[in-house]
A and B are shown apart, each in its own frame.
Chain A
Amino acid sequence: MSLLDALARMEAVACGRARPVATVRHRHLAEHPLVLVPLTTAGENGAPLGVMLGTEPSAPTILTVAQPRDRDLRFAFLGRLAEAVLPHLESCQDEVELVERKETDPESGKRVTVETELCTDAPQLLVPTGPGVDFVRLLGRSTRFRRTAEEDPESEHPAPPRLPLLGRWLSHYGERARVPGSSLLLSMTGLLTRHWATGQSQLEDQHLGALLAWLAPPEGATGAEAALRAELGRDGRGRLLVPPAGPATDPAFDNELLAPALTRYDRGVPGAEEEVHELVATQLRPTWEAMWEGAGMLRTLPEAEHVPDRWRRDRQSYTHHRDRLRAAEPPQPRKDDAVTAARKLAMREQRQAELEAQEALDDPLVMAVRRLAGEAFFAEVLEVEMAYSQGKRPSPRPLVTVHTQDAPLLTDGDKLHRRLPEGGQQRAELVEMAGPGELVLRLVNGMGRAKEPAPGTVPRKGDLVCWTLFEHAPRGGPGLPEPEETPWTHGGPPGERSAERPDPVTSEDVL
């Protein structure tokens, strides 16, 4: 945790409510996100208990499983889930814009410009917590290899028709959520903690109810008091006042209420199915409301400048997946081959560096963290002296003397970056430390091709300029080989990809 974030937490402790750690919204928030609140059955991997979903706070759909261990009921539930979620996930497939993209021509090896489709929007999925994101990934993994009756007529337990498709979409969203700065699938706790600091630890912030208690404590209560009530408060029947945001349920709820209801269902008691449904719904509703409350808070922040750029990448990712589905490619493999895995990692590292730079540029409060760390500084221009490079065609290399009150960690020759008023960026080098806080910089690019610098590209005396030690658009490392050229050290070429087999069925899954 940075010192500034720690300070914000202490301010929150002192004033009894959350304090901002961002002044703009750093993630895309769709006008109508699909909010998904899942619950699972304890002890079983990926056995859903119920879900509440919808794009409007007033119109949720509640789906539940009356007996989570019954395979047929589970499939019926997942089939209904697919019918509820897929229309949203497929809603942006057909509205496209044409964009130009550089591509290497496979025959000539030249870079050519091709026109491709890009969906103008992409559906967004919001879940309550980090484990909720994992659960989306797990649901995708557990359903994408299933076979429908059409694919495998012999199967004793065929999957509902659109379930494997849902699995592939959820797998894609789950995988995309690992990319720093992506916004296709986000957790509410992640979103809120990015923008506000509470007076509790990061660990406690994972509890959505406690987090919201700090953000909007009720009249007359401090955040800490409200959060404690959200964590531990129980009603007369021993139920938590604020049930966990899932996907795990409260063990006391399982033992005292759910287990007897399931037993009644197993015995065939009339009305037991509705009872289970209503019980699960009581655990879902508070989280559902919390989700929309959180979304409303996020909307009070203006969107950061670079968010549309990053959202464009999410749209690209969505469009690519649409294309793979349309090309009838097999489902995502269980494990990536070596080159794909290395590419994904390299891409995520690059996105992380980019995200850090963009958030700092968009938000003075994030830039303050970098300034305190000596990775950026504000400086006033004291003097500008024109100079030229030594070469056949001398180019402008003005020397700019600046004064800063920040404490950047610099040595001679270090590269510095700044944003130009007209957009674009400019690089400079540190020539010398002239005195305490006084630096002489040499501008090295961003001034046009002419002998005289383009107007507005050289700061003037008295200007206040923010310089960073980090690049604004960091580049990734060198390219990686094609999968068929995987070196033997990494297992060699993966060979022909065969369709993966579905997971085996075990007798114990059936009640």
Chain B
Amino acid sequence: MTPSLPKQTPPSGAPEPSGASGTSSGPGASGPAAQGAPPAPAPAGASPRRLAELRGGPDVPHKHLDARALAALAANPGCRRRALLDGAGVDKSAVAQALGSPAPFGQSQFALVRGNAFEARVKADGGEVLLALLCEQVGEARPEPAQVVVPDLTADGPAGRVERTRLALAEVPEGRWALLDHPWLSLRVAGSTAYLEPDALAVHPDGSLSIIEIKSFPILDGAADTVKAGAAARQSAVYALALENQPRAVRESALLVCPKDFSNLPAAGLLPLRKQIAATRRQLRRLTRLEEIAAELPDGLHFAPTQEPEELAAAVESVPATYAPECLSTCELAFHCRQRARDAGSVVALGRSVRGELGGLATVPDVLAAASGDPDSAASRDPAAALLRRAAALRAEALEDAAARGRAREASETGAVRDAEVG
């Protein structure tokens, strides 16, 4: 694991944290925060030192935000807990484990092996196959393999790799094709730097860029699973946002490369990104800035998974979460948050759509009190209460009706049995 800090940060007088992984650890942070003064909300975002503190010290590994996490974050922008923990680089799955609600996520090695084999196959021969698929989709002439620039992108550390990618993009001669295999991009999100690694980028002869996403779900008879293709589009939109601070234009459609039907042969399609980019940009802007969330936390509070579970639970609890059942498939802490939401009787634990007609009633006991028409309950005065009482009355009436019919049916059946015995 490598810290997110760019190497260029001017060193301050504060003692340097001992990096977890020697080669690429950057020194600590800017002045005031490091001196123990209250963290000032600087426009540059929360200081790396403050983020390291939140992780539990410089020795706790930093987990970088990736495009998948960003896309998931953008799907639930109101969740401060997720924004802070992800932004600070806390290993949420270790935290969830320590809290006793481990995330049941994992990838089967079969899927991993097959996915890697597919990507290697598609990228073999200097990306010839990949560019052929791209040209076929966008209707451009296929370049001669020798005419394609394939820059070497190896460098030390994330910041170095981002810089190397930037240089490589700038160096592509005019009018030539280029293919960047696993380039690195960076994106500032809510005051934290995220490093992103698209599968590939292609530079067209006109100078524009295409994002290429290689996935292992199939395109069957020309159609891919809409949910998975949608997730791929959101992920590509994050890359497109990260590519906005360089001079080249990014094409509005990304190339999605998947296995064709039941084979391991590649098939491709264009993913329109315009809407996804607009939506993701708006959601990421809505993310409360990290330093604002961090400023509300007491000093000394941190999320190291090694501390006592009660302390960790209290630390996690001090940042409000916005749980919804959709979190279960995207966030490692979801089972913990779900338990808290259920304990609090939150109606959202039953699904976001439940909230629609409940007005200001946010908990299950309140809703049931309003529905029962209990005059002593404050919930009964909510504007939604009248509708709820009516709903409860209709439900009770229908259930009573059904029960009566059930009794009638039983009676007629036993009657029939008696008659049969008599006969």
Interface on A for B, CB 8 Å cutoff? 1, 3-4, 6-11, 13-14, 20, 23-24, 41-46, 138, 141-142, 199-204, 224, 231-232, 249-252, 254-255, 259, 302, 334-335, 363-365, 367-368, 371-372, 503-506, 508-509
Contacts and interface: CB of A to CB of B under 8 A. Distances in A.
Interface in B102-142: 102, 104-115, 117, 121
A368 B397 contact: yes
A508 B398 contact: no
Given A9-B350, A231-B104, A368 B398 contact: yes
The list of the 5 closest CB pairs from A to B, nearest first, reads A43-B111, A23-B402, A42-B108, A251-B106, A43-B114
Given A45-B259, A255-B106, A506-B263, A6 B354 contact: yes
B371 interface: yes
Q: Give the interface centre of A7, A41, A44, A142 by most chain B CB atoms within 10 Å.
A: A7
A177 to B, nearest CB: 17
A275 B395 CA distance: 52
A503 B398 contact: no
B337 to A, nearest CB: 13
B391 A7 contact: yes
Nearest to B371: A7
Contact of A224 (B101, B121, B262, B342): B342
Given A7-B371, A7-B391, A45-B220, A259 B110 contact: yes
A43 B217 CA distance: 7
B170 interface: no
A64 to B, nearest CB: 15
Contact of A508 (B264, B353, B358): B264
Contact of B395 (A7, A13, A44, A199): A7
Nearest to B216: A43
Interface string B91-105: 000000000011011
Given A203-B351, A503-B262, A7 B398 contact: no
Interface string B229-253: 0000000000000000000000000
Contact of A506 (B265, B325, B388, B392): B265
B152 interface: no
Contact of A7 (B107, B113, B335, B388): B388
Say what secondary structure dominates the interface of chain B: helix
Contacts of B376: none
Given A9-B350, A42-B110, A372 B115 contact: no
30 contacts: A3-B388, A4-B391, A4-B395, A6-B347, A6-B350, A7-B388, A7-B395, A10-B347, A10-B350, A10-B364, A14-B364, A23-B398, A43-B110, A43-B112, A43-B115, A45-B259, A141-B221, A142-B262, A202-B351, A203-B325, A203-B328, A232-B101, A232-B102, A251-B107, A251-B108, A364-B402, A368-B395, A371-B394, A505-B263, A508-B117
Interface of B: 101-102, 104-115, 117, 121, 216-218, 220-222, 259, 261-265, 325-326, 328-329, 335, 342, 345, 347, 349-351, 353-354, 356-358, 364-365, 367-368, 371, 387-388, 390-392, 394-395, 397-399, 401-402, 405-406, 409
B278 to A, nearest CB: 27
Contact of A232 (B264, B335, B342): B335
Given A9-B350, A506-B263, A365 B109 contact: no
Nearest to B111: A43
A364 B406 CA distance: 13
A43 B108 contact: yes
A503 to B, nearest CB: 5
Nearest to A367: B398
A406 B413 CA distance: 35
A204 B334 CA distance: 12
Contacts of A9: 350, 354
Given A4-B395, A43-B112, A254-B110, 19 more contacts: A6-B350, A7-B388, A8-B395, A9-B354, A14-B365, A23-B398, A23-B405, A138-B220, A200-B350, A201-B325, A204-B325, A232-B335, A363-B398, A364-B398, A372-B394, A506-B264, A508-B264, A509-B262, A509-B264
Contacts of A367: 398
Contacts of A138: 220
A424 B120 CA distance: 66
A508 to B, nearest CB: 4
Nearest to B107: A251
Given A7-B392, A23-B399, A43-B113, A201 B351 contact: yes
Given A43-B216, A503-B262, A508-B264, A1 B117 contact: no
Contacts of A8: 395
B237 to A, nearest CB: 24
A132 to B, nearest CB: 15
